[in-house]
Amino acid sequence: MSFIRQYLSDVISGVKSLLTGMRLTGKYFIKHKETNITQQYPDNRQELFAGLPDRFRGEVVMSHDDNNEHACTGCTACELACPNGTIKIVTKFDMTPEGKKKKAIDKFVYHLELCTMCNLCIEACPTSAIKMAQNFEHSVFDRRDLTKVLNKPGSKVREGVE
């Protein structure tokens, strides 16, 4: 008899455990309006971008002010700090009003396709010329578009930044 009792209690406890699971999924099925966690991505772009935290690392940008001036002196600290060779700085020599030669950046080349967003260049920059932007939509049709020049054309170093 004990064999049959064991057999029956096995069956009953097994069925019970299955019903416990079904109760949970059933609950989610009925309350699906409250429980769903889907974000409808392209539709919610506006809120998504507004909700991105300030520290989110999307790409490296160089901040320019209204006079089209930036703070990059071309010291190549970021280039040295970068583990992947993402940043290449091309320098040129400007003439200061006093007639002296002064080193300045010609092009700040940034290879987005190599960048791992590790933030080491931002940490290394002594003048806070570059920062991370909150953008994650990087896909392009031509990979050459991923190589960017960060300093705007005609921009120059802000006065007083050494």
Partner 1 sequence: MLQDVIEAGNGDMIVNVGPQHPATHGVLHLVITIHGETIKKVEPHLGYIHRSIEKMCESLTYRQFIYVTSRMDYLSSHINNHACALLTEKALQIEVPERAQYIRVIMDELTRLASHQLWWGAMAMDIGALTPFFLAFREREMINDIMEETCGARLTMNYMVPGGVMFDIHPNFVQKVKEFNAHFKQKIDEYDELLTGNIIFQNRMKGVGVLSKEDAISFGCTGPTARASGVSCDIRKLFPYEVYDKVSFKECMATEGDSFARYVVRLEEMKESMRIIDQLIDNIPEGEIQGKTKAVLKPPKGEFYTRVETARGELGVYVVSEGATTPYRIKFRSPGFSNLSALDHIARGQKLGDLVAMMGTLDLVIPDIDR
Partner 2 sequence: MFSLENITNLVSTWLYANLDPTWALVVQFVIVGVLVISLFSILGLVLIMMERRVAAWMQLRLGPNRVGPRGYFQTVADTLKLIVKEGMTPDGADKFLFNLAPFIVMIVSMVIMAPLMFAKGFQIWDVNIGVFFITAVSSVSVIGILMAGWASNNKYSLLGAMRSGAQIVSYELSAGLAILTIVVFSGSLQVSTIVESQADGWWLLKGHVPAVISFVIFIIAVTAETNRAPFDLAEAESELTAGFHTEYSGMKFALFFLAEYVNIFVVCAVGATLYLGGWMPFHIGNWTSFNQVMDYIPSSAWFFGKTFFLIFVIMWFRWTFPRLRIDQLLNLEWKYLLPISLFNLLLATVIAIMGLHF
Q: Which is nearer to partner 1, 109 or 133 (CB)?
A: 133
Interface with partner 1, residue 112, by CB under 8 A: no
Contact pattern from residue 21 through residue 40 relative to partner 2, giving x for each residue in contact according to CB under 8 A and a dash for the rest: xx-xxx-xx--x--xxxx-x
Of 60, 61, 73, 58, nearest in space to 126 by CA? 73
What span, in angstroms and rounded, lies between the C-alpha atoms of 52 and 137?
13
* HSE value, Cβ hemisphere, 13 Å, CA-based, for 62: 29
Stretch that binds partner 2, among 17-25, 50-58, 118-126, 141-149 (CB under 8 A): 17-25
Neighbours of 109 (CB within 10 A): 17
Q: Shortest Cβ distance from residue 118 to partner 2 (Å)? A: 33
Which of partner 2, partner 1, none has residue 40 at its interface (CB below 5 to 8 Å by kind)? partner 2
Contacts (CB under 8 A) with partner 1, residues 30-89: 37, 52-53, 55-57, 81-83
Q: Which is nearer to partner 2, 43 or 162 (CB)?
A: 43
DSSP sequence for 31-98:
THHHH-----TGGGHHHHHHHS-TT---EEEE---TTSEE------HHHHH-SS--EEEEEEEEEPTT
Contact footprint for partner 2 (CB under 8 A): 11, 18, 21-22, 24-26, 28-29, 32, 35-38, 40
